Amino acid sequence: MAASIALADPPSPMREDLVAYRAVGGYEGLKAALIRGGASVLAAIEDSGLRGHGGAAFPAGRKWRLAAERAATCRHVVANGGEHEPGSEKDKHLVERHPHRVLEGMLLCGLATGATRGWLYLIEDMAPQIASAERAIAEARAAGLLGGTILGSEFAFDVAIHRAPPTYVAGEETAAIDSIEGGPGKPRKKPPYPGEYGLRGEPTTVNNVETLTHVPWIVRHGAGAYRAIGTRESPGTMLVTLPAELRRPGVVEIPFGTSWRTLIEQHGGGVRDGRRIRAIHPALSCGFLAGKHLDVGIAHETLRPLGTAPGCGGLRLVLDGDDVLARLLEIARFFMKEQCGQCPPCRMETNQFAHVLGALQAGKGGNFADPIRKVADFARKKGFCSLIEMAAAPILSALDLFGDELGTASSASG
């Protein structure tokens, strides 16, 4: 059984150009899909159980069907490469090293949903990724893989690169749409969802770059082969960005269900200085997991009951000797700085977290856990986007996990 779909492995030191991509079966999925039709692609993605890799893990097939079934004369695909979460590098890796996989995923999404316009959403300071994508688009156009009559078929689809402002919140899907439309890149109220009313009011499928790179493999090998990798509720593989504390940092691909121990020791070569792992932080916007859970498999269904999620795979570790409070304050300040200011509960929550944790660090102790929990409870689900919940997840889980150290009552530290 395949354990990888070759997104990171073997690590490609160079950009995969069109010749190299074709040599490993690139665009074969598109060729077959143009004969079988878009409905077969949509069915394959639904059957595969592919979930979004941008953080929320929403089933890709459900999102695609929403856009496909919405009556419209024009539809869009947005490949979200706005990766701005500290510790996550996988989307930048994909766009820079495997740009044709991203383009083929966008084309297949376009074919399945009836879209003709593709937008590769990048951040304006991502120079290597923009350069790589520009070259790949030019190669694809010259080879008849983008444009009017793709590979001689009636399917028309073209891709433009959008250079977004360098803010975290601009990676949220409706903020991405706002930015492409020329706005400041701030989230909009949902519903309506982009699949119903997206770019210029037209049905728009927004997927993370990594999600789209799984699509060509699924179309070529079938939904069953994809489901044979990973776990029941988390089929396939995921990319993880391993942190600098490990002997081999960088982007690796693992089948869902791989344990944290295997990821850290086998893929990452173990902790560089041998320090004990006190807690695993699957990604900045997720809850912490006690170090005693190193043998738990990485999958949505196994992490959910433990209060966390695979997230975007930007792994961080809390090691013996690390200053937990300093880490929490860094997280709180990140979200305070990155909230866009338009939803008062989000502004209030993120400012309050940073204020309370800052006071704690300055030695002003007292009961700080209750105000944090109260403000998180009040703000929950009150924003246009989920930044409120993303900011709260690590802080709330840390109150439980590092309670003794921080001076709260409860502790579940492993």
Ligand X SMILES: Cc1cc2nc3c(=O)[nH]c(=O)nc-3n(C[C@H](O)[C@H](O)[C@H](O)COP(=O)(O)O)c2cc1C
Residues of this chain that interact with ligand X (CB under 6 A) are 52-56, 58, 80, 82-84, 168-169, 171-173, 206-208, 211, 385-387
Closer CB to ligand X, 108 or 246, in the complex: 108
Closer CB to ligand X, 179 or 258, in the complex: 179
C-beta of 143: minimal distance to ligand X in Å?
26
C-beta of 18: minimal distance to ligand X in Å?
25
C-beta of 170: minimal distance to ligand X in Å?
8
Give kind and range of the element (H or E) at residue 120.
strand 117-123
Closer CB to ligand X, 285 or 302, in the complex: 285
C-beta of 58: minimal distance to ligand X in Å?
5
CA distance 244 to 281: 14
Order of strands, sheet of 289-290, starting from the edge strand that comes earlier in the sequence: 289-290, 277-281, 316-319
Distances (CA, A) of 409 to 73, 108, 320, 358: 59, 52, 21, 20
Supply the DSSP symbol for 11: P
C-beta of 54: minimal distance to ligand X in Å?
3
Structure tokens of 72?
Answer: 């419209």
Closer CB to ligand X, 133 or 206, in the complex: 206
Contacts of 273 (CB under 8 A, 6+ apart): 245
Burial class, 76, CB count within 10 angstroms (exposed 0-12 / middle 13-18 / buried 19+) = buried
- What sign results for the dihedral spanned by CA atoms 195, 57, 107, 89? positive
Q: What angle do CA 275, 279, 285 make, to 5 degrees?
A: 130
C-beta of 133: minimal distance to ligand X in Å?
15
Distances (CA, A) of 85 to 54, 110, 314: 10, 27, 8
Closer CB to ligand X, 112 or 279, in the complex: 112
Closest by CA position to 97, among listed 136, 124, 123? 136
C-beta of 194: minimal distance to ligand X in Å?
9
Closer CB to ligand X, 84 or 163, in the complex: 84
Closer CB to ligand X, 226 or 368, in the complex: 226
